[in-house]
Chains A and B, each alone.
Chain A
Amino acid sequence: MAAAFTSSPNRMELMKVRKRLALAEKGHDLLKDKMDALVMELFNTLKTIQKSRATAIEQLRKGYEAVSACMAVMGTFETMQAAEETKKEIQIEISERNIMGIEVPTVEIEETERNALTRGYSLHTTSSHLDTAAREMERAVKLLVELAELEVTALTLARELERTKRRVNALEYILIPRLQGAMNFIMMRLDEMERENFTRLKRIKAILEGRE
């Protein structure tokens, strides 16, 4: 394996391998720092997600319940009609931010809750059930938007962490040991060559001396 790295074991080659090893070790250390930071960022996000998920999903459940109640009391068709007439004005603000080169979203949303007069459906067909349904769903949307930011951030960070971990492992278990092996091989060969050279010189000397 080590031999594959070196065509000829000489000092030049040794220097090259040393350089490559230094780069691999530097890369390994830095990516490990990045991994640590990513884990911390991910945990920070996960901590907020737990609560955010629970509240958003509970509010959505309330919303659906209110919509069902509304359909039962007002009729499915009338509820659909009102849904169609409702003003569709929800807007969200999305901007990006960077965590160690990883793009994640920042989402902001204005107050989603409106009052019965501004929603746009015609009031003579409506009941308080409709207002409740709309209000609960408006609240749910706000919480879901906030949750979306967290979920996407966590998924993005976790994917990057997985990638970085693979790189760190490849360096730690494949490239660095391989380069170390190559370096040891060259040093051993150089030592051997030096010893051979030494004995040869000695023999030459002996021959020369013996001749005299």
Chain B
Amino acid sequence: MEQVIKFELGRLNAHLPVKRISLKSALSASRPAVQGKNGNLHYFKREELKLLSKLLPESEWDKLQLPILIALESKLGRGAARISGEIEAKVIGKILQREATDNEIIVYRPELALIRRKLPTTTQYMFVW
């Protein structure tokens, strides 16, 4: 049983990318993708990249790192999540139609559902403990 827990905890973040790529390079790639720590490829949908590029001025395309990481932190409480990074928070704020404070934005369950519906491939969950 404890082996199982360790296995499950190890698996939680195994999909996270080894290296993120900028929106700019994703837009110019023929098949934009990142590689996870587990070796699996994760492809971005072009329509999402287009949506993101409309939300940001072109000068910021190389500053947005993809996928945008949605951190589920146990200390934030159930259903809340943190998105860090100035540009990342700004983009998510625009999708939710509210201002991002400083360099991060905390989102709650209904907002999270909306973000995941609009950006299913360009956002990924990250578990923090």
Which residues of A approach B to under 8 Å, CB–CB? 20, 23-24, 26-27, 29-34, 36-37, 40-41, 43-44, 95-101, 103, 106, 167, 170-171, 174-175
Contact = CB atoms under 8 A, between A and B. Distances in A.
A157 to B, nearest CB: 12
A85 to B, nearest CB: 34
Contacts of A29: 74, 129
Given A33-B74, A44-B116, A97-B42, 14 more contacts: A30-B74, A30-B127, A30-B129, A31-B8, A33-B72, A33-B78, A41-B116, A97-B43, A99-B120, A100-B15, A101-B11, A101-B13, A101-B38, A167-B4
Identify whether the interface residues of B are mostly helix, strand, loop, or mixed: mixed
Q: 4 closest Cβ contacts across the A-B interface? A: A95-B43, A27-B5, A98-B15, A101-B15
Interface string B6-36: 1011011111000000000000000101001
12 contacts: A29-B129, A33-B72, A37-B72, A43-B113, A95-B43, A97-B120, A98-B40, A99-B125, A101-B13, A101-B38, A106-B43, A170-B1
Contacts, number: 81
B112 interface: yes
B125 A100 contact: yes
B112 A40 contact: yes
B33 A44 contact: no
Contacts of B113: 40, 43-44
Contacts of A41: 116
Contacts of B6: 23
Given A96-B42, A100-B15, A106-B45, A36 B79 contact: yes
Given A96-B41, A175-B1, A37 B125 contact: yes
B116 A106 contact: no
A40 B36 CA distance: 22
B121 interface: yes
B124 interface: yes
Contact of B116 (A24, A40, A96, A167): A40
Please indicate which of the listed interface residues B4, B5, B6, B124 has the most CB atoms of chain A within 10 Å of its own CB: B5
Nearest to B32: A95
B54 to A, nearest CB: 20
B117 interface: yes
B5 A24 contact: yes
B43 A167 contact: no
B40 A27 contact: no
B124 A98 contact: yes
B109 interface: yes
